Amino acid sequence: MNHIQIRPTRLIIGSLALLAASGCADTSGPGAPENRGVLLATVDGGFSRLAWSSDGTQLVFATSNALSAISVSTHAVRQLDASPSITILDLRSAGEWIYFAAAVATGSTDSNFRVSRVSPTAGAVEILLTKPWNGSEYVVVSDDERFLVANQVLYDVQAATQIALPAGRPIGFSPDGTQLLYYQRPAGSSTDSPTLISTADGSSSQALHATSSFYSGHRWEGNSPQLIDFGLDNGTLRLFEIDGVTGATHDLAQFGANPSFPTILPLANWSADNQTLAVWVEQGSGQSRTTNLYVIRSGSAPAVVANVTTSLNVAVGLPVFSRSGNSVAYNYYNDAARSLYMKSGI
């Protein structure tokens, strides 16, 4: 079987967002010594979401044709699922499991879309579904693992039903699993519209308030998603969130003056308890720039916990918290290589 060549466009855009961004200033300017954290491993140059094991002892990642886990203490790497005929498309954590989607070569020009799950501790892979692949790159799972979105279909695992979804990309389920945050792509449109879709029938939907069609991170307050966005006011970058249901806005942080406007919001992600936000902010507009990883807690000023140098050929990926919120991991992309770093004691 031939290895499938896939261009994960949205992952590339997300991971390279900082290359186009001119962020904000703090005390560490361009050329400041780097503080990347602990190097866990250097792997192939592919793009991959990261996921932590539930106990925080392992970090799961994908390479070109394998799903692997690395021990954060010993740095030993184990392959959880590997085959020259698969390409890992997406992975998410839920409960004790890592759910992952893969395109599987069938020996012809066609491919299947396969969703599996694996316990990083036990290591046994369970295949949940295999369908003809329609080009979708996402898998999303509800906290209680009842609902699953994959291959543009909403699955109710408990009721054994499935509902086709409109064109778009799934983002995540509300804590009670009744709502799906979905960036829908209307027919004939080139932009996405954030929408809530009811998991009861898969068709009842509610358009959300948003100032941008780009997804930049979110948390939940009840069944209302709080969407991260940004703006520039007299050279100051304002990071805020907008309540998707009510439209109310809430400031998260402000970063010092820089005349260049970021074209895409810096990469941001919440901890599992929605109490801590990690966000990359790039400073400067030259060929070599300092990119700071800020941790933001309610009532506290943003604190820099890591910083790297980025350029046209160097970028960072989405920061991902461990379940406890005490550690954060990220991808560091440098030409053809990809390195996994971790900052602990956050």
Give 132-187 as a DSSP string.
Answer: E--S---EEE-TTS-EEEETTEEEETTTTEEEE--SEEEEEE-TTSSEEEEEE--T
pLDDT number for residue 336 = 73
Token pair of 65, please? 């044709």
Dihedral angle sign, alpha carbons of residues 219, 93, 152, 101: positive
pLDDT number for residue 144 = 96
Least confident range of 26-30, 42-46, 229-233: 26-30
The DSSP string of 254-312 is: EEB--SSPPSSPPPEEE-TTSSEEEEEEEE-SSSSEEEEEEEEETTS--EEEEEEEEBT
- CB-CB contact of 22 with 258 (8 Å): yes
Higher per-residue confidence, 263 vs 121 = 121
C-alpha radius of gyration, the chain, whole number: 20
Burial of 241 (0-12, 13-18, 19+ CB in 10 A): buried
- In the chain, the percentage of residues whose pLDDT exceeds 90 is 60
What is 16-344's CATH number? 2.130.10.10
CA atoms within 13 A on the CB side of 252: 30
Chain segment 274-315, per-residue pLDDT in tens: 999 999 987 766 677 788 899 999 878 899 999 998 887 888
- Tell me the whole-structure pTM to 2 decimals: 0.86
Rounded to the nearest angstrom, the gap between the alpha carbon of residue 102 and the centroid of all alpha carbons in its chain is: 17
Higher per-residue confidence, 177 vs 7 = 177
For the chain, the structural domain boundaries read 16-344
Q: What is the mean pLDDT of residues 86-93?
A: 94
